[in-house]
């Protein structure tokens, strides 16, 4: 029972079979069945009940009959469990297609026949994605490395063998433009790097580059959030932005008295306006200087 309680939550996170991910899906599901010890129902026919025949002169022993009945009951139960998990981890379209079958073995074999056969077109597609992959500037290097590793795994899952040194050398040519100099340095090393060693060098290089960034390029997200909150709460800024939006339709409204047709120094509420400007001058200055920075980050 403890094993099942640990496995079932993991099964809930299994990606649904959609017809394009059969190999990975079937391997993961088979591992779950092995841990549940029900994988045998996918490869064996159900046990037949023991019945006496005309040839037999003595009836089967009672213990043999009981053992046979227990085996049949266990197979029926395990078949239902395996069938439920297989069907429950399919898309609705495939579920409707296979739900009429009561045998988990029959469903498993049908899926293998339909999706497990070698597909030359799919292999070429997977290899093409792997070879066409290219890192880009502006994205975290290690995130892109993980994408490359997944593409390599897809190629291997198609039955092709990839040497570790070869994979690492291909990755070298996938570096983004800003890493050209560093790539050339690695290529001049006498020792060939394994993929694990190369990724370790890349992780260190990325950390050093982030550490050496000028302070002007290091943005404090919490400060930006506070700035946005300040902008939203400031009535002066809200009025200014509203007036800017109205500029295309008509004259800008003086934000203190709410009227137009006169200049600021002619306004009857000039003193109040000056007071507002003095109080909010820093806020307006921060808004003007920081607006582009905040917009680029969030």
Q: Do 29 and 107 belong together in one domain?
A: yes
Q: Do 109 and 129 belong together in one domain?
A: no
Cβ-Cβ contacts under 8 Å for 18 (sequence gap 6 or more)? 91, 94
Query: At which of 173, 200, 215 does a domain end?
Result: 215
pLDDT band at 133 (very low <50, low <70, confident <90, very high): very high
Q: Indicate whether this model's pTM tops 0.75.
A: no
Query: At which of 63, 88, 115 does a domain end?
Result: 115
- The DSSP annotation for 199-242 comes to HHHHHHHHHHHHHTS-GGG---HHHHHHHHHHHHH-HHHHHHHH
Cβ-Cβ contacts under 8 Å for 44 (sequence gap 6 or more)? 105
Q: Do 171 and 66 belong together in one domain?
A: no
Q: What would the mean pLDDT of 33-41 be, rounded to a whole number?
A: 93
Task: Yes or no: say if 127 and 167 are a contact pair by the CB < 8 Å rule.
Answer: no
Number of domains in the chain: 3
Q: Judge whether residue 29 has pLDDT over 80.
A: yes
Rg over CA atoms, the chain: 34
Q: Do 229 and 259 belong together in one domain?
A: yes
Per-residue pLDDT reduced to its tens digit, 188-210: 888 888 999 999 999 999 998 88
Q: Do 52 and 93 belong together in one domain?
A: yes
Query: At which of 115, 144, 178 does a domain end?
Result: 115
Q: Which of 138, 206, 136, 132 is nearest to 170 (CA)?
A: 132
Task: Yes or no: say if 221 and 268 are a contact pair by the CB < 8 Å rule.
Answer: no
Q: Which of 144, 142, 139, 134 is nearest to 170 (CA)?
A: 134
d(CA 110, CA 108): 5
Q: Do 207 and 144 belong together in one domain?
A: yes
| Residue 250 confidence (pLDDT) | 55
What range defines the domain where residue 9 resides? 2-115
Q: Do 246 and 173 belong together in one domain?
A: no
Cβ-Cβ contacts under 8 Å for 219 (sequence gap 6 or more)? 293, 297
The long-range contacts involving 202-206, CB below 8 angstroms and separated by at least 24 positions, are: 202/141, 202/142, 202/145, 203/141, 203/142, 205/141, 205/179, 206/140, 206/141, 206/142
Of the candidate ranges 7-11, 87-91, 153-157, the one whose mean pLDDT is the lowest: 7-11
Per-residue pLDDT reduced to its tens digit, 83-104: 999 999 999 999 999 999 999 9
């Amino acid at each position: 029972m403890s094993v099942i309680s640990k496995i079932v939550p993991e099964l809930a996170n299994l990606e649904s079979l959609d017809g394009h991910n059969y190999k990975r899906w079937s391997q993961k599901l088979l591992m779950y069945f092995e841990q549940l010890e029900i994988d045998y129902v996918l490869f064996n026919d159900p046990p037949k009940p023991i019945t006496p025949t005309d040839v037999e002169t003595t009836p089967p022993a009672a213990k043999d009959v009981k053992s046979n009945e227990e085996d049949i009951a266990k197979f029926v139960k395990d078949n239902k469990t395996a069938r439920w998990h297989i069907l429950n981890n399919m898309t609705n379209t495939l579920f409707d297609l296979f739900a009429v079958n009561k045998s988990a073995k029959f469903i498993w074999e049908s899926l293998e026949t339909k999706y497990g056969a070698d597909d030359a077109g799919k292999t070429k597609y997977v290899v093409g994605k792997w070879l066409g992959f290219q890192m880009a500037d502006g994205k975290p290097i290690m995130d892109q490395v993980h994408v490359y590793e997944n593409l390599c795994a897809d190629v291997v899952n198609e039955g092709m063998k990839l040497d570790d040194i070869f994979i690492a050398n291909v990755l070298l040519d996938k570096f983004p433009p800003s890493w050209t100099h560093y790539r050339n340095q690695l290529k001049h090393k006498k020792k060939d790097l394994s993929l694990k060693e190369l990724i370790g060098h890349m992780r260190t290089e990325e950390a050093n580059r982030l550490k050496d960034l000028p302070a002007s390029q290091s943005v404090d997200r919490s400060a930006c959030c506070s700035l946005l909150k300040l902008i939203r709460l400031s009535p002066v800024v809200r009025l200014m932005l509203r007036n800017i939006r109205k500029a295309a339709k008509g004259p800008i409204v003086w934000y203190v008295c709410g009227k137009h047709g006169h200049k600021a120094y002619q306004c009857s509420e000039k003193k109040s306006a000056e007071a507002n400007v003095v109080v909010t001058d820093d806020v307006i200055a921060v808004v003007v200087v920081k607006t582009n920075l905040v917009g680029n980050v969030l």
